Structure 1
Amino acid sequence: MKAGATNSLVDVPGLRVGHAHRVGGGYRTGTTVVLASEEGMVAGVDVRGAAPGTRETELLDPRNLVERVHAVVLSGGSAYGLSAACGVMERLADAGVGFPVEGGVVPIVPAAVIYDLGRGGSFRAVPDAVLGRAAYDAAYDAAYDAAYDAAHDAGAGAGDGAGDAAGTAAPWANGSVGAGAGAVAGGLAGGVGTASAVLPGGATVAALAVVNAAGSVLDPHGGALAGTRYGLPGEFGHLRAPDPGEAAAWNPDRVTSFNTTIGVVATDVALTKAQCGKLAGVAHDGLARAIRPAHTMVDGDTVFGLSTCHRPAPGPDAFQDVLAAGADVFSRAVAHAVLAATGREGAPAYLDVFPSALGGKR
């Protein structure tokens, strides 16, 4: 296997990603949107945390009517942040994209949220419909499209795209952007992470994780990021095991009591709703490999499985390969989220705590 051109979710043909965030003035939060083409995408979901905040997940049950969704929203703000999906829904409706009904369309926009309330100083400084619209607009930013095209043509990564003054970030960005702007992970700064894999047959599988975990993202026997063990050749080659003294000294005492890791795992092969649900389920295996413990009483861990149906349906063996890759890309995405996150008071960056882990060029 190899990574896609940007090692991100947008390596899956047919997907767009937009990040928007607010930091300052009481805010430290944001929203991330995953968009499909006008035909939508097949979707499933697997909710394993005991404190989820979600919207429209019942529609993704294979027994229910709607076959395709038009966007998935991941947001900060706890239950308040679900309103960001309204802004995305408005943009889609204005574009005439949605489930056709008499008199118009109804966009289908499932969503999940993390708990980041008060991390910028104001408890009620949360994502809203305005931020949802900004995330949607960022997904169609022409400058980001040009950068993606250049990266794809060169067959190389597109850079970190960590953000700009407007409060948006490139679709392939890792770190404290979008829905991960206020995230923490086991006492460290958390954020958005993404990774992709192109399978030998040509199918692409990719993940985007918003890592805001109560559990530790570290190997239990040291300070290495647990998710890096599933990296592709060279992906985490600039890292090494941290000095044992740094690992011994790390004893976080400000781990928050409400958290949640959310995300999506997607592929371009045609899957049913039930198969998308299975893909979401194995992504939770990847989550649990990279975060310990996972699915706790104070986490609302939720993963959406998506298919853009750009390639034919896989046979049983090929579907097994997609599932295996789904778990691995989610583990890698968790590691990228923490590795790229920006440190702040009460939530230091990983490399600030474990500087010896940087064995090569940062």
Structure 2
Amino acid sequence: MVRRTGELDAIVDVDDVRVGHHQRLDDRWATGTTAVLVPGGATAAVDVRGGGPGTRETDVLAPSHLVQQVQGVILTGGSAYGLAAADGAMRWLGERGHGVRVGADPSHVVPVVPSAVIFDLPMNDWGNRPDAEFGHLACQNAGRTETRQGNVGAGTGAVVGTVKGGIGTASAVLDTGTTVGALVAVNAAGSAIDPDTGLPWIPTRGLRPPDPAEVEAGRRLFGARPGRRGPVQRPLNTTIGVVATDLRLSKAECQRLAVAAQDGLARAIRPAHALVDGDTMFALATGTGAALPAPGEQGWSERLDAVCAVVADLVAQAIVRGVLAAEPVDEVTSYTRLYPSARE
């Protein structure tokens, strides 16, 4: 299936998807929250592969459960404490009448906002983590043109392997006119870099093999789990993200997209889905575009599999972009600082 890059090459290329970030980055803070909003509602699903997830309202996404649409997804730092950011997102959406209608008055709604967290606590002074205000401000900042990557939102305190992680995003338009996008907060116990080459595991345009001295320096660093103020015993971990499409999909079909998103994660981060990771990927279908053939009809499986293949590619691409866009935070170096000669 032929595809081209989306106009902004970001998840906001998908109709009705908005993205907003709020973060704090100073001597005592390095964390934040990212809101992926679909205020009008979108079919949603989730796939959790890591052994240590921190999530909220993921059970509601099961295909057999009552609620059929969500109004947004929150990705945030702060470990389990950071799930409080979803309270602020619910408040922002509820103030605007977005949610499941539960009463006669249009304001009587319950927004459905599944959420996932990364473990970035060592990047902050103890007690500094996202709260409801972070979620509210991330929603307030949400728009259709947000394309920033690296140290923003949930990626502010992210670390992947031995270097700084961050937010990455990408999009594509298929020859059928379907738009697909991905946004990932890259923060993993594994590495996005092959220590023997100094290059990402995924072939990436604009990079060349770095100088051997830089590769050797990276190899010596490999396995040292850096924290905000030097190595920490427990790795900073968990990669979380959202993929979206304008297709009209059922919850079960959306689930296939979430599964494919984890495939892309496993290509770009090695090892992935560890016991100390909480790798969680959400999928959204806004339904503003075409519908697939009905399940079992001719072309249905081929069309769905083609979209899933693109989803996996975009997630892998977004992960690499998040690493390349990240900037150092104190002792935590970045890819471009560790391998300066890799840029063509």
Q: Same fold by TM (over 0.5)? A: yes
Output the CA distance in 2 between the equivalents of 1:26 and 1:328. 36
SS in 2 for 1:175: coil
Task: State the match for 2:86 in structure 1.
Answer: 85
Aligned partners of 1:118 and 1:125 also within 8 Å? no
Deviates more, 1:314-323 or 1:303-312: 314-323
Partner of 2:252: 274
Structure 2 unaligned segments of length 5 or more: list them. 227-233, 293-299
Give the C-alpha shift of residue 195 in structure 1.
Answer: 0.6
Q: State the secondary structure of the residue aligned to 2:122.
A: coil
1:322 to 2:304 alignment: no
In 2: Cα distance, 1:30 partner to 1:47 partner: 21
Which residue of structure 2 aligns with residue 260 of structure 1? 238
196, 217, 220: which one aligns with 2:171: 196
- 1:340 pairs, out of 282, 301, 325, with 325
Residue 134 of structure 2 is aligned to residue 131 of structure 1? yes
User: How far is 1:293 from its partner?
Assistant: 0.2
Say if 2:78 is the partner of 1:107: no
Deviation digits for residues 263-306 of structure 1, max 9, x if unmatched? 01111111111111111111111000000000001100000011
Match for residue 295 of structure 1 among 273, 287, 293? 273
Amino acid at match of 2:120: D
| Partner amino acid, structure 2, of 1:12 | V
110, 116, 131: which one aligns with 2:120: 116
Partner of 2:31: 29
Residues of 1 paired with 2:72 and 2:196: CA distance? 39
Counterpart Cα distance in 1 of 2:188 and 2:134: 23
Q: What is the rounded CA distance, in whole Å, between the counterparts of 1:176 and 1:226 in structure 2? A: 21
**CA deviation after TM superposition for structure 1 residue 196, in Å:** 0.7
One-letter amino acid of the counterpart of residue 287, structure 1: L
Aligned partner (choices 1, 9, 12) of residue 10 of structure 1: 12
What's the CA shift for 1:247?
Answer: 1.5
Describe the superposition over 1:106-146 as per-residue Cα deviations: whole angstroms up to 9, x where unpaired: 000100000000313x1210001111111001104xxxx5x
Identity of aligned residues (%): 48
Once the 2 structures are TM-superposed, how far is the Cα of residue 244 of structure 1 from its aligned partner? 2.9
- Contact 1:343–1:349 (Cα < 8 Å) also in 2: yes
Runs (4 or more) in structure 1 with deviation over 3 Å come to none
Tell me how far 1:219 sits from its aligned partner. 2.9
> Is the CA contact (8 Å cut-off) linking 2:225 and 2:235 kept in structure 1?
no
Report the Cα distance in structure 1 between the residues aligned to 2:200 and 2:52, rounded to whole angstroms.
Answer: 25
Which letter does structure 2 place at the counterpart of 1:173?
A: R
Shift in Å at residue 25 of structure 1?
5.2
Equivalent in the alignment of 1:247: 215
Q: How far 1:355 sits from its partner (Å)?
A: 0.9
Match of 1:187 among 132, 154, 162: 162
CA distance in 1, matches of 2:141, 2:23: 11
TM-score, length-scaled by structure 2 = 0.91
Paired amino acid for 2:315: F
- More off after superposition, 29-38 vs 313-322: 313-322
Contact 2:225 2:236 (C-alpha < 8 Å) held by counterparts: no
Q: Name the aligned partner's letter for residue 35 of structure 2.
A: V
Q: How far does residue 245 in structure 1 lie from its aligned partner after superposition?
A: 2.8
Post-superposition offset of 1:237: 3.2
Change (3 A) 1:32 1:345: same
| Residue type of the alignment partner of 1:261 | T
Partner of 1:208: 183
Shift of 1:239: 1.6
Q: TM-score, normalised by structure 1?
A: 0.86
| Aligned counterpart, 1:310 | 288
Amino acid in the other structure paired with 1:36: V
Work out the CA distance in 2 between the residues paired with 1:36 and 1:200: 24
The amino acid that maps onto 1:124 is G
